[in-house]
Amino acid sequence: MPIIACSSYHPPWVLRNGHVQSILPVLCRRVTGVTYQRQRIATPDGDFLDLDFSPVGADRLAIVSHGLEGSSERAYVLGMVRVLNRSGWDALAWNFRGCSGEPNLQLRFYHSGDTEDLDTVVSHVLADSRYSLVALIGFSLGGNITLKYLGERGAAVDPRIRAAVALSVPCDLTSSAVAMSRACNTIYMKRFLRMLHVKIRWKMQQFPGVIDDHQYQYIRTFHQFDERYIAPLHGFLSAEDYYQKASSLPFLAGVSVPTLLVNAGDDPFLAPACYPLEPARNNRHLFLEIPPFGGHVGFMRWWEDGDYWSEKRAMQFLMSLVDPIAKR
């Protein structure tokens, strides 16, 4: 406990395929009705982060963290922001370094355990006295960062952070990297590596002679990419060291605010270790839900308002916790 044994997600038969659910939203979904107000903040190491706010004048705010090579403009982020606004929440979708449309300033960019930048965003928000209540929402890589951030801080987390939701999270980076190297995931790997190559080329222009893409075309897996780039650029000894230190799985025991983790059983990006049954059984604050279907950041289901099941489920969880608190 608390493992949610029966998920409410029951897609039509045509969507009961993890690859269909992972690909169709990327290709087909368009979300309207969200208008951002951008704010740029400085990081302690002399870089910047671009934050996109969607306010409705509320005293409660949700901070949304996107996935690998995503941004605040991805449909899954916009969909969550729209649902938050409709439910009376301000929303902040922040962009990881280099993901807001221009290169960041430092040689490093971002990685799966980069809780320092999330802390910079949270600290900036909490310095604004208008928000008495904050929730954290993360997708995929952003979900791993969210869980690790909460686990690192444990009971010392700021009391204004009342709840969190993490969706499609590779909690164990080592096994997830192995899963992504399977032949059935080649289409995803090629896309991610192509997008990450843009980041490397940016860095080559910014820091001539410090980094290069010689024989980049031979990189086929995350392990190869992380060993060559992510680990050395971000202070890790190796890809294995990076996976061990950046995975949220070892930190789940420290999560001290009500947190919903939703990982689909047919997510092609995840390995068995990414379904943390024992940590959920042993931590009363961690709610684990494993719908049989949903793919990776999928959970498609159509209502007249255009929302996906994952967005409604996230709001259901947040409101079940926040409304009783607000009425006290």
- Write down the catalytic residue from 168, 172, 296, 310: 296
**Order of strands, edge to edge, in the sheet holding 3-4?**
3-4, 286-289, 259-262, 161-167, 133-139, 60-65, 90-95, 48-54, 37-42
- Write down the catalytic residue from 114, 267, 307, 310: 267
CA angle (226 as vertex; 221, 232 as ends), nearest 5? 155
**Cβ-based burial of 55 (10 A; exposed 0-12, middle 13-18, buried ≥19):** middle
Strand partners, 38: 52
SS3 content of the chain, % helix, strand, coil (to 5): 45, 15, 40
With tokens 């002399």, the residue in question is: 46
Catalytic: 296?
yes
Which tokens go with 89? 């929440």
Catalytic: 267?
yes
- Write down the catalytic residue from 140, 176, 247, 248: 140
Of 113, 220, 120, 234, nearest to 173 (Cα)?
Answer: 113
What residues are labeled active site?
140, 267, 296
